[in-house]
Each structure stands twice: as C-alpha cells, then as structure tokens.
Amino acid sequence: MRINSIRLPMNKTRKMKSENKKTLAELLKETRQEKNLSLARLSELTKIQIYYLEALEAGQFEKLPPLVYRVGIFKRLAKFLDLSANELIRAYGKEARESEDFHNKPVAKLKNINGFILTPKKIAIFSGIFLASLLLIYLWYQVAFLVGPPNLAINLKEDTITKQESIAITGKTDSGVNLAINGENVFVASDGNFSKDVQLADGINIVEVEAVDNFGKTSKIVRQVFRNQ
C-alpha cells in the first residue's frame, strides 16, 4: 500500500515565520493601531508619557526611564493592549541585549581602557544577570500591586464655610508621590507634608486633592467650600 506524503502549504509557513520576526516596536505600534488608539489616547489611558511611547514604537530603548520603571510601562501597555506582560518584558530583554551588537564585534577588539576582554562566556554571564535582574524587578512590581494606594490626609473639613477669598490647604501624603490640588501640581516635602493656598469664588467651591504614586495608584479627597461674603 502506498502512503502519499503530505506537504504543508509553503505560504502558511512563511506567514508564521514572518510574524515571529516582528519586533517589539512593530508589535506595539500595530496592536495600538488595530485598536484605533492614538498615541495621545494611549498615553491618557496608561499614564505613560507620549515621549516614552514614541521611543518604544521607534525601538529607541535608550530614551526610556530607568529599568525599574520600564517594567511598569510594559505592565500598563499589556493591560490596555490585551498583550502578555511576560512576553513584552521577554522581548524587550532580548532586543535590548541584541542592540548592544556584541556578536558583530571581534572578541579581540572588545577591550576597555584597563585591558578587560569581553569574551562570549562573559557576555553570556552578563546576559543572565541582566535577565535575572529584570525578572526580580518584575516580581517586585507584581508584589507592589498588592499594596494599597498612597496615604492622603488634609486639614480641610467637609462643607467648610468661610468669608475669606482664599483658603490654605495643608496635608500629608507619602513621599515621592505626585500631588495635585485642583489639577495644579503641588510640591511634597521629603516627610510627605504639603501646603497650598486656593483662591475661592463666591458660592460653592470644589477642592480636589489627588496623590498618584509611581505605580499609578491614586488617592483622592474632594471637599466643598462655601464662600459667604
């Protein structure tokens, strides 16, 4: 009995192969466009600066913030683009290493001013350390997500009534957070204390105090102040 051989369609194989060659920059840009999201809208949703989004889609990793914040960026992008955070981080680690172009340089020429020679074995060790560091940062970021939003307390009581043209808002939050009162950034001291004078109009005034930490977690307090002349 003759058994006919089965051939796989070549065009399908090429298609799968070409998809595997897609870079991180291409993946992020194409996925964003498929969801009809502009860079401005994606920035608004993820709280990531457009500057960093443009750098990612251009493959310019050197323009990204420090490594500890890059993991957070990939985590947020994965959430809003319906991608795998692990895959994004893995792809970034691979492309970041390849961008160093170690494999295209003769080993004999890879020396620094102290005569240190960078061999393939050392490259492998450094790459392993880099990936391990990236994994530890990712795990730390995952644990950080279990932590609650930043602490926030202000001196302003609910439904305050005053005749003054302005009112002093003082309070305390966690150090290192971004704080805004009615949309205006306010300086936070190293101990977490802050203060700002808010101008009042006649009648009801809304005072909104918002604190955002490095992970994008938010605490907000809203108070009404009635100015009665």
SS (H, E, C) the chain: CCCCCCCCCHHHHHHHHHHHCCCHHHHHHHHHHHCCCCHHHHHHHHCCCHHHHHHHHCCCHHHCCCHHHHHHHHHHHHHHHCCCHHHHHHHHHHHHHHHCCHHHCCHHHCECCCCCECCHHHHHHHHHHHHHHHHHHHHHHHHHCCCCCCCEEECCCCCEEECCCEEEEEEEECCCCEEEECCEEECCCCCCEEEEEEECCCEEEEEEEEEECCCCCEEEEEEEEEECC
Which of 144, 168, 203 is the last residue before a domain boundary?
A: 144
Measured torsion, CA atoms of residues 40, 44, 49, 54, in degrees rounded to the nearest 10: -30
Instruction: Band the pLDDT of 19: cuts 50, 70, 90.
Output: very low
Q: Say if residue 70 is in the same domain as residue 134.
A: yes
Looking at the fold, whether 139 and 97 belong to one and the same domain comes out as yes
User: Does pLDDT of 124 surpass 80?
Assistant: no
79 lies in the same domain as 20: yes
Is residue 191 domain-resident? Answer: yes
Domain end call among 144, 179, 206? 144
Instruction: Report the CATH number that the domain containing residue 157 is assigned in CATH.
Output: 2.60.40.10
pLDDT tens-digit profile of 175-186? 889 999 999 999
- With a cut of 50, say whether residue 68 has pLDDT above it: yes
Q: Does residue 120 share a domain with residue 99? A: yes
Would 111 be classed as within a structural domain?
A: yes
What pLDDT does 70 receive? 84
Q: Which CATH number belongs to the domain containing residue 56 in this structure?
A: 1.10.260.40
Number of separate domains in the chain: 2
Q: Whole domain around residue 216: which residue ranges?
A: 152-227
Q: Could you tell me which residue, 9 or 38, shows the higher pLDDT?
A: 38
Higher pLDDT, 3 or 180: 180
Are 17 and 98 in the same domain?
A: yes
Residue 1 domain-assigned (yes or no): no
Amino acid in the structure at residue 9:
P
Do 25 and 123 share a structural domain? yes
The model's confidence at residue 28, banded by pLDDT at 50, 70 and 90, is: very high
Closest-CA residue to 176 (of 217, 207, 146): 217
Same domain for 122 and 177? no
Residue 81 lies in a domain: yes
Last residue of a domain, one of 100, 124, 144: 144
Query: Based on the domain organization, do 20 and 114 belong to the same domain?
Result: yes
